[in-house]
């Protein structure tokens, strides 16, 4: 540590030699323009980037040595050649608001919580059990960006909402480029002087102002996220890819003896159990009750999975910061894959512990949080995957609660169906999310019961024979994912057995594994993700009101699909828009149309990430072992989480499948139409038109009949998935190995269908 005399000497030296003084940002731009030099030319001379020059001239950042001295010398020379005219007087009221300095309150009092002392060495979202000194306080709610209501389907881009969290004034994350510029949420630019990973982590914790306030008063704040572009990762000494090195290809992380890992260890930084991979958490032990953790996302190592984020990793840094920032503010700051983020969101909204008063000592201790998953429980043998230790030697059968993969037998098609011109696929919006709403799930471990009386309010796994229930061959069985009727006793979750009772059949369970304590654990998770999905759909210009005209909804979805998938050929886009009856969009100018496509492209990335958070988050509840060296029967790390709950996953999927069957049965009952195939949450019907209104049953007012596949933008409602010629679909069904039309309704080519 430096002495006081050394620090005073350094301060005096700085006072005596403050360094080059730059003119005001507007004067910098004026001097460059007066000299007839472009920003690109200036960036080339100073060995910088055009974006950096723009930042200097906008006052968002300042150059650092040695560019600072060179830039100051250049501006001084231009100032002598092009003197500034005498400035006119301006009042404070005349200054544009965009240039007004932002005032951000500061808060030096950290808010205590039961989870601020969580051990970051555990990658699971399990908070630490250390008791707090006093109970946590309710944090202030964060402002959410609200969509701007407009009558047109295409909405103008809203201005970024400043992040006004007193503790984290610069938002949840930043995308770091190689010139030291960190692009944060709301267009904010930060200067990061770090040249090593240890310096980067220190800067993120002490100077960046990044982070997010906890989502629950008993939870913990989200650690700052630093996203490294390929150039930034290379500058910090990271290899360009993990796939080129045989030592890292399998594990997708740097080996423990890598120089980067050793350098972090020398600086007293530690890594979690997953090591230094695409999503690396770097931390030091808790100090003074405060966490010291930073999350890194390494873009060239495929941190952003294309299944969830599309081409987000290829976006320019400012746009990527915007996309990730929207997701972080509406869902959660990413800390891994969308599956990890989905599971983390569950825990953030329902922390396992809370502060409770110790009656003997009067102090505050950590206790279980009602309604949460508070401890690791052992799953029942029929609920676990076959490689689980509890499954070894178990011969009593397993749950098979999965989504539909059903193909209708071609011999059951009527002549009227086969001569329809089109096959139209409709898709349920976030079907798992809709199924999670008000779903009663177990909060405790399983209790084995023989010959139990079925109670639809009791979550659990039931061994029951449903093979006596008759089914229509034109509909899939509601009890199996393949759609084939069961042939004897099998294990089912409560939603499946409850549906059998709803259909009017007696059920007599043979045995069951039931949960004594239960609750709607997923409700807060559902509510937050539903709001994120609906808000983002609204920003895409999709009407989300429950009374929206369904034809207007279909037109808005068509516009969004064309704009998000558009390339650089604007003439082709205009032709496609005009062909769909969207002439008001086709009439836009080139700049406006290009801006619209770029915006919808990014909105689609957020929508995809939200949907993946739902789907893969539910899947993460039953995470299976990974690694080539794993042997069946061995435990794996995921089993140590409170959120390893395969029974909850099975209940959500079962309810989603039952909801799908109920809608299909209601359609058949209303107008005698039957599906051609089902794949997860997509179902295909023969249709006289290219939209679902041609085959769905309608009310007298022309709306889709309630109880069937109502069209709309909210979770649980349906949208168009794809269209094919009916002749093509019939050909798929008539093959020796039939092809599920619901898997290919979007129009994949024959090579994909043939598996080539």
Q: Which of 718, 711, 693 is nearest to 548 (CA)?
A: 711
Q: Which residue has the higher pLDDT, 104 or 719?
A: 719
Q: What is the mean pLDDT of residues 92-121?
A: 34
pLDDT (0 to 100) of residue 383: 97
Residue length of the chain: 756
Confidence of residue 8 (pLDDT cuts 50, 70, 90): low
- What end-to-end distance do the CA atoms of the chain give, in Å? 65
Euclidean distance between CA atoms 145 and 551, whole angstroms: 28
pLDDT range class, residue 709, cuts 50, 70, 90: very high
3-state SS assignment for residue 489: strand
Q: Which of 225, 210, 209, 221 is nearest to 115 (CA)?
A: 221
Distance set, CA 318 to CA 129, 162, 572, 635 (Å): 39, 15, 28, 43
pLDDT tops 90 at residue 396: yes
Q: How far apart are CA 516 and CA 345, in angstroms?
A: 25
pLDDT band at residue 571 under the 50/70/90 scheme = very high
d(CA 746, CA 742): 8
Q: What is the per-residue DSSP string for 528-587?
A: HHHHHHHHHHHHTT----TT--HHHHHHHHHHHHHHHH--S-HHHHHHHHHHTT-HHHHT
Q: Please, which contacts does 542-549 make with residues 24 or more away whose CB atoms are closer than 8 Å?
A: 542/153, 542/713, 543/713, 544/712, 544/713, 544/714, 546/712, 546/714, 548/712, 548/713
pLDDT tens for 50-88 read: 778 888 888 777 888 888 888 988 988 888 888 876 544
* 13 vs 338: which has the higher pLDDT: 338
CB within 8 Å of 392: residues ≥ 6 apart: 632, 633
φ, ψ of residue 407 to 5 degrees: the values are -120, 130
In the prediction, which pLDDT does 110 show? 35
Q: How does residue 151 score in pLDDT terms, banded at 50, 70 and 90?
A: very low
- pLDDT of 756 > 60? The answer is no
CA distance 618 to 526: 11
- Across the chain, what does the average pLDDT equal? 86
Per-residue pLDDT for 128 more than 50? no
- Burial (CB < 10 A; 0-12, 13-18, 19+), residue 18, is exposed
Give burial (CB, 10 Å; 0-12/13-18/19+) of 201: buried
Beta strands across the sheet bearing 511-515: 446-450, 511-515, 460-465, 489-493
Token pair for 442: 């177990």
From the list 222, 425, 175, 450, the residue with the least C-alpha distance to 318 is 175
Lowest mean pLDDT among 160-164, 261-265, 504-508, 695-699: 160-164
Note the pLDDT tens digit of each residue in 476-531. Answer: 999 999 999 999 999 999 999 999 999 999 999 999 999 999 999 999 999 999 99
Q: CA separation (Å) from 386 to 11, 31, 322, 400?
A: 67, 72, 43, 12
Task: Give 64's contacts (C-beta < 8 A, 6+ positions apart).
Answer: 180, 191, 193
552 DSSP β-pair partners: none
Whose tokens are 């509840």? That residue is 621
Q: Which residue has the tokens 């070894």?
A: 392
Q: Which of 103 and 556 is assigned the larger pLDDT?
A: 556
Residues 454, 511: Cα–Cα separation, whole Å: 10
Least confident of 4-8, 285-289, 552-556: 4-8
Instruction: Please calculate the CA angle 236-241-243 and round it to the nearest 5 degrees.
Output: 150
Q: Does pLDDT of 115 surpass 60?
A: no
Q: Where are the domains of the chain?
A: 19-99, 173-356, 374-622+632-756
The radius of gyration of the chain from alpha carbons, rounded to an integer in Å, stands at: 29
User: Residue 404 — very low, low, confident or very high, per pLDDT cuts 50/70/90?
Assistant: very high
CA distance 500 to 466: 8
Report the pLDDT value the prediction gives residue 20, as an integer from 0 to 100.
Answer: 73
d(CA 551, CA 529): 26
| pLDDT tens, residue by residue, 205-237 | 999 999 999 999 999 999 999 999 999 999 999
Token pair belonging to 279: 């999503």
Q: What is the spatial distance between Cα 128 and Cα 351, in angstroms, rounded to a whole number?
A: 10
Instruction: Between 109 and 648, name the one with better pLDDT.
Output: 648
Q: What is the pTM of this model?
A: 0.80
Superfamily of chain region 19-99 = lambda repressor-like DNA-binding domains (1.10.260.40)
Tell me if 574 sits within 8 A of 142, measured CB to CB.
no
For the record, the structure tokens of 628 come out as: 């080539």
């Amino acid at each position: 540590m430096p002495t006081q005399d050394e620090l005073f000497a350094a301060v005096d030296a700085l006072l005596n030699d403050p360094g080059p003084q730059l003119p005001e940002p507007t004067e910098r731009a004026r001097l460059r323009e007066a000299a007839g030099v472009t920003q690109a030319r200036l960036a080339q001379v100073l060995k910088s980037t055009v974006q950096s020059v723009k930042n200097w001239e906008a006052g968002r950042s300042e150059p650092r040595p040695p560019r600072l001295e060179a830039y100051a010398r250049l501006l001084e020379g231009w100032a002598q050649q092009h003197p500034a005219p005498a400035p006119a007087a301006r009042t404070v009221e005349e200054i544009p608001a965009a240039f007004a300095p932002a005032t951000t309150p500061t808060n030096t009092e950290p808010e205590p919580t039961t989870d601020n002392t969580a051990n970051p060495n555990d990658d699971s979202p399990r908070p630490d059990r250390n008791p707090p000194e006093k109970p946590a306080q309710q944090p202030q709610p964060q402002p959410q960006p609200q969509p701007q209501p407009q009558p047109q389907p295409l909405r103008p881009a809203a201005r970024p909402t400043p992040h006004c969290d007193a503790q984290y004034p610069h938002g949840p994350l930043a995308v770091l480029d190689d010139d030291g510029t960190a692009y944060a949420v709301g267009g904010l630019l930060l200067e990061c002087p770090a040249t090593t990973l240890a310096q980067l982590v220190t800067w993120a914790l002490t100077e960046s102002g990044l982070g997010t306030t906890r989502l629950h008063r008993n939870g913990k704040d989200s650690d700052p996220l630093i996203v490294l572009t390929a150039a930034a990762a290379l500058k910090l000494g990271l290899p360009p890819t993990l796939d080129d090195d045989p030592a890292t290809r399998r594990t997708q992380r740097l080996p423990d003896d890598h120089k980067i890992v050793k350098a972090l260890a020398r600086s007293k930084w530690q890594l979690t159990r997953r090591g230094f991979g695409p999503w690396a958490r770097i931390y030091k032990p808790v100090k003074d009750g405060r966490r010291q953790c930073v999350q890194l996302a390494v873009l060239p190592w495929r941190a952003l999975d294309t299944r969830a984020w599309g081409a987000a990793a290829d976006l320019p840094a400012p746009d990527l910061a915007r996309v990730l920032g929207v997701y972080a503010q509406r869902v959660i700051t990413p800390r891994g894959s969308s599956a990890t983020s989905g599971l983390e969101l569950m825990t953030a909204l329902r922390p396992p512990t809370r502060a409770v008063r110790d009656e003997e000592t009067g102090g505050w201790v950590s206790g279980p949080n009602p309604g949460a998953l508070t401890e690791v429980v052992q799953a029942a043998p029929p609920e676990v995957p076959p490689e689980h230790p509890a499954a070894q030697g178990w011969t009593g059968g397993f749950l098979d609660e999965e989504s539909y993969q059903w193909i209708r037998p071609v011999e059951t098609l009527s002549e009227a169906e086969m001569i329809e011109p089109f096959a139209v696929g409709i898709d349920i919006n976030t079907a798992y999310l809709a199924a999670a709403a008000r779903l009663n799930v177990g909060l405790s471990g399983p209790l084995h019961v023989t010959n139990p009386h079925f109670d639809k309010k009791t979550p659990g796994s039931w061994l029951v024979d449903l093979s006596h229930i008759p089914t229509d061959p034109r509909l899939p069985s509601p009890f199996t994912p393949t759609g084939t009727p069961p042939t004897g006793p099998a294990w089912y979750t409560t939603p499946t057995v409850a549906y059998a009772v709803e259909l009017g059949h007696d059920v007599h369970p043979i045995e069951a594994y039931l949960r004594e304590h239960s609750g709607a654990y997923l409700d807060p998770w559902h509510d937050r993700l539903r709001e994120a999905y609906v808000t983002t759909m609204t920003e895409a210009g999709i009407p989300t009101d429950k009374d929206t005209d369904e034809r207007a909804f279909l037109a808005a979805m068509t516009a969004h699909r064309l704009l998000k998938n558009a390339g650089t050929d604007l003439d082709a886009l205009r032709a496609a828009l005009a062909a769909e009856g969207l002439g008001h969009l086709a009439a836009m100018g080139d700049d406006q149309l290009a801006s619209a496509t770029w915006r919808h492209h990014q909105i689609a990335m957020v929508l995809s990430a939200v949907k993946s958070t739902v789907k893969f988050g539910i899947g993460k509840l039953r995470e299976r072992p990974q690694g080539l060296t794993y042997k069946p029967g061995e435990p794996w790390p995921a089993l140590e989480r409170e959120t390893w709950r395969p029974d909850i996953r099975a209940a959500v999927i079962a309810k989603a499948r039952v909801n799908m069957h109920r809608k299909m049965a209601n359609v058949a009952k209303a107008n005698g139409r039957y599906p051609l195939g089902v794949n997860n949450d997509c179902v295909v019907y023969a249709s006289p038109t290219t939209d679902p209104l041609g085959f769905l049953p309608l009310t007298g007012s022309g709306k889709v009949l309630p109880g069937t596949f109502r069209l709309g933008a909210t979770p649980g409602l349906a949208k168009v998935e794809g269209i094919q010629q009916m002749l093509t679909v019939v050909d798929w069904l008539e093959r020796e190995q039939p092809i599920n039309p619901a898997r290919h309704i979007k129009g994949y080519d024959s090579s994909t269908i043939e598996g080539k």
